[in-house]
């Protein structure tokens, strides 16, 4: 319930930000702020609906992921099938990414149209219990419909950014002579997209925490995922992916791309130590500590 309330709160903050930008844009639509808001929300929805329906094919192609059959990867299929049975979920497709960097992600519109993809490096680095923890985390993303949640967040963030950009250029070339009005619009046009991105990242981090907890509950072993996260963080820090788009980094269980201080500010993933502490707390509540 706590994860849901935080997600709803973040969506509320983004909706309020969207309303504020819409109000500012009202001057460009004969004083009707709602018309301005609806126009830009509609454009963002169309863009994100297209992305939502085709994102699975796009991301699998981007990382050269190959769908594998049960005969090609029997152990992987068996582990995912076991988790699916425990979680009462349909069996997703399974894909392998030809990368030595250990990582994994899930994609697809819904539980019936999902793929769990893992890298060659993940299969090499983790032991069986740790691999099970990672696969359970990705199955949790599918069950929690995080792809839908993040698509909605992207829709709102995209609408805010697009509307703010329109306000910026409209003010720049609109010939307004009210200095205070121009200053307010310009300030909003610069800060609103940044604020929307921060809220979107907050939603993403919240969903990662929830997937950790849900995945650990699937297999009854939070320690396995905690151990896997330690290994993955170290491996991805030493040898990040050199192929792929950082804009899709939020899909992976840990960020596969190198980043500095600014990257950590806009990170889609919570700090690994914070995730591990929550898993250890979950383990203690379940009575797993010896």
Annotated catalytic residues are 138
Residue 90 DSSP code? P
DSSP 115: E
Q: Tell me the CA end-to-end span of the chain in Å, nearest whole number.
A: 29
CA R_g for the chain: 21
Q: Shortest CA distance to 89 belongs to which of 125, 124, 51, 138?
A: 138
**How far does CA 157 lie from the centroid of its chain?**
13
Report the C-alpha gap between 13 and 36 in whole angstroms. 19
Cβ-Cβ contacts under 8 Å for 14 (sequence gap 6 or more): 153, 156, 157, 160, 196, 199, 200, 203
Specify whether the CB–CB gap between 199 and 238 falls below 8 A: no
Residue 288: CB atoms within 10 A of its CB come to 14
């Amino acid at each position: 319930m706590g994860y849901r309330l935080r997600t709803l709160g973040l969506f509320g903050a983004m909706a309020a930000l969207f309303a504020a930008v819409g109000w500012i844009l009202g001057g460009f639509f004969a004083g009707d702020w709602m018309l301005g808001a609806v126009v830009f929300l509609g454009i963002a929805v169309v863009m994100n609906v297209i992305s939502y329906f085709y994102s699975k094919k796009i991301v699998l192609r981007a990382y050269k992921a190959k769908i594998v059959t049960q005969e090609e990867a029997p152990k992987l299929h068996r582990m995912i099938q076991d988790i699916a049975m425990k979680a009462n979920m349909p069996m997703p497709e399974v894909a392998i990414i030809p990368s030595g960097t250990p990582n994994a992600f899930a994609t697809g519109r819904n539980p019936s149209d999902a793929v769990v993809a893992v890298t060659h490096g993940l299969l090499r680095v983790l032991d069986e219990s740790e691999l099970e923890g990672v696969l359970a985390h990705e199955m949790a993303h599918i069950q929690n419909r995080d792809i839908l949640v993040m698509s909605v967040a992207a829709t709102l963030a995209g609408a805010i950014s697009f509307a703010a950009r329109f306000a910026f250029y409209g003010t720049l070339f609109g010939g307004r002579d009210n200095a205070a009005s121009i200053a307010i619009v310009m300030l909003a046009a610069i800060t609103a997209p940044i604020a929307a991105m921060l809220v979107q990242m907050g939603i993403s981090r919240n969903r990662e925490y929830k997937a950790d907890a849900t995945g650990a509950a699937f297999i009854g072993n939070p320690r396995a995922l905690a151990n896997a996260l330690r290994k993955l963080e170290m491996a991805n820090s030493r040898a990040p992916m050199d192929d792929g788009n950082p804009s899709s980094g939020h899909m992976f269980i840990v960020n596969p791309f190198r980043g500095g201080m600014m990257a950590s500010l806009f990170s889609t993933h919570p700090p690994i130590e914070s995730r591990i502490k929550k898993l250890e707390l979950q383990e203690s509540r379940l009575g797993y500590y010896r």
